[in-house]
A = this chain, B = another copy of it.
Amino acid sequence: MISVSIIGAGNVATHLYKVFKKTEQVSIVQWYNRDLTKLSSYKNAVSITDLLSELKPVDIYIIAVSDDAIAKISEQLPFKDRLVVHMSGSVGIYDLDKKNKRGVFYPLQTFSKEAKVDFKQIPICIETIGKKNLPLLKSLAEAIGSKSYKVNSDQRKALHLAAVFVNNFTNQLYRIAHEITESEGVEFDILKPLILETAKKVQDLSPYMAQTGPAKRNDKKTIKNHLKQLENEHHKDIYNLLTNSIKKTHGK
């Protein structure tokens, strides 16, 4: 049994609470938040507190707050030599206060408030200073059915940056496609199977091997026609830049 306390009450903290609650191998000792009203609907199911001084000894303290607040709250913890981890992709392990043992437990996935989260599908990037506490973080990931990867802070930052490309930027391309179809009065729905297939294809094939289309073939006529069709200058820029990127990747 792994005992934990959660610090913070945002999306990630809440999803984590829910999966821990369902997990026999994890016991949630306390849930801390500065503003207790955010935890009020959970107060009958778990011990809640707004005082760091009330935090009892546990195996792992999990800081699930915004990136900017991690360092400060780790400083404010009124104890030492215990294992304290944060959950951020872009904050270094050394940003945690050194009075405690430090670690990172970073789930690489997109969390929205509404959507259900299946931790079995979420890779967790774990990091500790020294090897001693790594198995405990690995066990915590295993307990909730997640695959864990040992990833150092530089690697984690690279993943966080790469995630912006495959998630935020990709989603913006979907948005542009939505604008293009909408402007011709045609349903965006028609594109949904292609969106899914594009993502599925790189589960087995490298993105390099999976590429197709006019840019890869350097099909100048189609590229020219597409640029003529695009009325939004910003979309034209994106078309040109990504077309050139594909051409460069594929030696055209």
Interface residues of A (CB under 8 A from B): 67-68, 90, 108-110, 112, 115, 121-123, 125, 149, 151, 154-155, 157-159, 161-178, 180-181, 183-203, 206-208, 210-216, 221-222, 225-226, 229-230, 234, 237-239, 241-242, 244-246, 248-249
Contacts and interface: CB of A to CB of B under 8 A. Distances in A.
A37 to B, nearest CB: 23
B168 A170 contact: no
A6 B150 CA distance: 53
A136 B166 CA distance: 40
Contact of A158 (B162, B186, B244): B186
Determine how many copies of this chain the complex contains. Answer: 2
Contacts of A165: 173-174, 176-177, 180, 239
A171 B198 contact: yes
Contacts of A249: 172, 175
Which 6 A-B residue pairs are closest in the complex by CB-CB distance? A199-B199, A168-B213, A162-B177, A174-B207, A175-B207, A158-B184
A177 to B, nearest CB: 4
B187 A162 contact: no
Given A168-B211, A191-B163, A158 B248 contact: no
Nearest to A216: B168
Pick the most buried of A109, A193, A229: most chain B CB atoms within 10 A of its CB. Answer: A193
